[in-house]
Structure 1
Amino acid sequence: MSDSETGGGTGTPDKDYNLIWFAEACLSNVLRLEQYAQDADRAGDAELADFFRRAQRESSKGAEQSKAMLARRLQR
């Protein structure tokens, strides 16, 4: 992995792109984990459904934190 950050491909510094990617990945995870939790509910596996919902809440937190950080950085 390179120590330099060029942003040449996107015109955006890699660290900003990485933050945007992370927010999107977390939000995508929230949606996917909801489906997994519903699948577990349908199968009658409350323990697994609870596990996926806890993971979903953590992904949601990650999305919110990255969105807040991005907003602060864009205001500079």
Structure 2
Amino acid sequence: MATGETGFADVTFDLISVQYHSLKAGHDYGQYVRDAENANLDDVASFFREVMEQDSQRARRAHELLRTLSGTEHGGPATS
């Protein structure tokens, strides 16, 4: 099992990273939606909502995959 510098299996770290960045982006997109709405750009606001939903789905999927790894050799800190 490959481990990175975090001491966690690389695949676990990678999934956590995807989940984090998807959630962070989704949070940021909320501001983008408000900016587009304030500029009366409904088509742009709609686009940002679509992107936000895609990131939300991505974060949920990463969470599901992390759950399936829980309790396996890939689901937590690497043991030596």
Q: Same fold (TM over 0.5)?
A: yes
**Aligned residue for 1:46?**
42
Measure how far apart 1:61 and its partner are. 0.1
2:21, 2:3 → 1: CA distance?
22
Partner residue of 1:11 out of 7, 12, 15: 7
Partner residue of 1:55 out of 33, 40, 51: 51
**Aligned residue for 2:63?**
67
Report the TM-score when normalising by structure 2: 0.84
1:61, 1:75 → 2: CA distance?
24
Decide whether aligned partners of structure 1 residues 75 and 5 sit closer, same or farther in structure 2, where only a CA change above 3 A counts.
Answer: closer
- Which structure has more RCO (C-alpha within 8 Å, separation ≥ 6)? 2
More helix, by proportion: 1
Q: How many residues were matched structurally?
A: 72
**Aligned residue for 2:28?**
32
Measure how far apart 1:15 and its partner are. 1.1
Q: What is the percentage of aligned positions where both structures have the same residue?
A: 28
**Aligned residue for 2:75?**
none
Report the TM-score when normalising by structure 1: 0.88
| Structure 1 unaligned spans of 5+ | none
